[in-house]
Amino acid sequence: MSESSNGPSTASFWTQANALLRKNLIFQASFMYLTLLPQFLVLMDSLLHALVETFTAVEKHNFIIVTNWLGQALDCRTLAAPRNGQCERRCGIEYSTLDQVFTCSIPHPPPLPPLLQIPSQQYRAVRTDFILYGDLPDDSCKRTGVAGNMFARPLNIDLSNILYSLADDALGSETKTRYTNYLDPAFSSDVPVDFLQPQCTSNSQFSVPVQFGSATFQQDVRCVQGLQLWRNSSSEINDELYKGYRKGNAERKINEIVAAYDFMNSNENLLNVTIWYNSTYKNDTGTNLLP
């Protein structure tokens, strides 16, 4: 009777011990995975870093340009053996994109001339079915015409100080501005800088050297004809500007004017002017912080 009475108790003990052992093994396995996971992630990050630096290396003259995992452009000067891995790494504006250049220092940045925001060629104001003013150009003038140019000074470039002399001219660009303009896209992209003139000659596009730090770029400069148009009232100006927006006309076309000026009660002794301009290019959502 005693054996039969102890049988269930003994079986229950071994069952509980077996279940406890299994539970402990499962817990230990889970703990091992949790312990190894951070080490695995660090290893994968190191491998990815090495792969990115390997596949983004580009040979250029006697340099190997490397973009590291932070997106910073580093140039690697080759020594006697180009692939011996011994190089001097340093950041340089001449090896950087517009996104990377903010990580590089320019000890003496050049002062850049002011630029008007010029509409892209396909968006410049012309005569349309919804804007019927006869003094606007027809559609064939989109590549050469732009809105009011108030500066009729002929272009004059001093080759000894190109950027300084350009500041005396009415310049513009259709590139989009950036928040800081530390390196203005107008002078670091493939888009020409426009200079506004009442009339353009046939050979009015050329290139000038522009230096940033130790880098020198060839910047294309082209003439764009400016038009001075007159409207009888501010309401006419406002109506024409509104219809130039995509949602301001039934044809959903962009017919953009650079700027409009209402001189109000200005006279020889008083300058009182209201300026309209397209703030779309500012792209200010109110979330950007001052640098």
Give the lowest-confidence range in 75-79, 107-111, 184-188: 75-79
Tokens of 24: 């402990």
pLDDT of 125 strictly over 80: no
Q: CA-CA distance, 102 to 92, in Å (whole number)?
A: 11
pLDDT class of 147 with cuts at 50, 70, 90: very low
Mean pLDDT of 128-134: 62
Q: How far does Cα 289 stand from its chain's mean position? A: 17
Average pLDDT over residues 27-32: 64
Q: How confident is the model at residue 4 (pLDDT cuts 50, 70, 90)?
A: very low
Instruction: List the chain domain ranges.
Output: 58-103, 116-281
- pLDDT at residue 245, rounded to an integer: 80
pLDDT (tens digit, 9 = 90+) per residue, 148-174?
444 456 666 776 777 777 777 778 888
Q: Which amino acid is at 214?
A: S
CA distance 80 to 69: 27
pLDDT in tens, 225-283: 777 777 878 888 888 888 878 888 888 887 777 778 888 888 888 889 888 877 766 65
Please answer whether residues 162 and 111 qualify as being in contact, where contact means their C-beta atoms are separated by less than 8 angstroms: no
* pLDDT for res 65: 44
161-to-37, 41, 106, 164, 170 alpha-carbon distances in Å:
59, 53, 19, 6, 17
Q: What's residue 68's pLDDT?
A: 39
Tokens of 75: 């140039």
Q: Give the model confidence (pLDDT) of 32-80 as tens digits.
A: 666 666 777 777 877 777 666 554 444 333 344 444 334 444 444 333 3
Mean pLDDT over 105-127 rounds to 70
The whole-number pLDDT of residue 246 equals 80
Task: Judge if pTM exceeds 0.75.
Answer: no
Which secondary structure element, helix H or strand E, spans residue 53, and what is its range?
Answer: helix 2-55
| Res 259: pLDDT | 79
Quote the CA–CA distance of 168 and 265 in Å, as a whole number: 29
For the chain, give the mean pLDDT: 67
Most confident of 90-99, 106-115, 224-233: 224-233
